[in-house]
Amino acid sequence: MAIGAGDLAIATLSAEKPRVTSASDTPGAAALSSNLRGALWMLASAACFTAMTTLVKYLGGDYPAALQAFYRQLAGFVILVPMIIRRRSAAFATRRPGILFFRAGAGTLANILSFYAYQKMPLADGNALSFTRTLWVVPLAAFVLRERVGPLRLVAALVGFLGVLVMVRPGAGAHLAIGLPAVAMLASSLLYALTITGMKVVTRDTASSVLLVWSAALGMLLALPGAFIAWRWPTPLDLALLFAMGGIGTLNQWCYIKGMAIGDATAMAPIDYVRLVFATMVGLALFHEVPGVWTLAGASIVVASTLVITWREAQLARRPFATGTKA
């Protein structure tokens, strides 16, 4: 995830907790207001994510993915330094260092793979394949967390992976016209899903801010060897752009967390897919990338599947609360 996309799921778990409203609240008014405010944060998150991936692609000709990932982690760590100084040892307090090491390693590798994919493939294609992170969480929840996965989520995940096959376009005969960048993005999504799965375990007794600090500090250190191999000194302008990329990526995370925390998860999740529209527009305007019919069709299937999974997760999260309220 280093501060990566995998850590964004922290907000989703927080958002699934039911909100407590007073009897004086006007029915529907408060929910409408919170969802509207959440939607604005989600739109800002989508814009930041698009800006970050645009810089990744723009700088990709001179700076390999491993080097970009290091600067991404470095910028995130610098942003967290004031909090680390203020909280000192409490910023790293945890009983599960092993899981945090694993999450940092998986997140760092996921960042490198996703950056490589964004550099080598159209932005719209990369964004569409990145949404498979939600699909990977379903089998991981069953096999790693031993969660019971119902038929609805299982079918939605299978249909979503069918959409992936549509996006990578069946070629001549029975062969798939799938390239290394697409494989890298799918592997990145799987690694991000692993970080989410690990997060669901560690957040039982560890604050989310501690997860961010560990991810930032370890991610920076773990990204250093790959950056050293591909090292080149950036020009002052490129250095500013690299740090801007990292800062915007962290801002994207903050906006996503705010949006998911303020609005209902089922209402906010569809707005996140606006970044697919943004990526298509930027790809067309700056890089002359025209998404094909197969990409649009497959992306539609993946988006629909992940929305069904998100809706079902929210329903399951509310059920215990509703039962307790009735009792």
The residues facing 237 across adjacent strands are none
Helix (H, G, I), strand (E, B) or coil at 176: strand
φ and ψ of 55, to 5 deg: -65, -35
Closest CA to 212 of 46, 8, 67, 38: 8
The fraction of the chain above a pLDDT of 90, given in percent, is 25
Q: How far is CA 26 from the centre of its chain?
A: 34
Structure tokens at 24: 């004086």
Q: What pLDDT does residue 53 have?
A: 94
Q: How far is CA 20 from the centre of its chain?
A: 28
Q: What's this model's pTM, rounded to 2 decimal places?
A: 0.80
* pLDDT category of residue 30 using cuts at 50, 70 and 90: low
CA dihedral angle for residue 248, residue 250, residue 253, residue 257, rounded to 10 degrees: -120
Q: What pLDDT does residue 24 have?
A: 43
Q: What is the mean pLDDT of residues 194-205?
A: 76
Minimum mean pLDDT range among 34-43, 50-59, 316-325: 316-325
The fraction of the chain above a pLDDT of 70, given in percent, is 82
Q: Report which of residues 105 and 212 the model is more confident about.
A: 105
Cα dihedral across residues 314, 319, 320, 323: positive or negative: positive
Q: What is the mean pLDDT of residues 213-233?
A: 89
How far apart CA 85 and CA 180 sit, in angstroms, is 42
Q: What is the pLDDT of residues 88-125, one digit of tens each?
A: 878 888 877 888 888 889 989 999 999 999 999 899 88
Whether the CB-CB separation of 15 and 261 falls below 8 Å is answered with: yes
Q: What is the pLDDT of residues 268-313, one digit of tens each?
A: 777 888 888 899 899 999 999 888 888 888 888 988 888 888 777 7
Q: What pLDDT does residue 35 have?
A: 79
Greatest mean pLDDT among 24-28, 29-33, 137-141, 157-161: 157-161
Q: Report which of residues 206 and 50 the model is more confident about.
A: 50
Structure tokens at 121: 């493939």
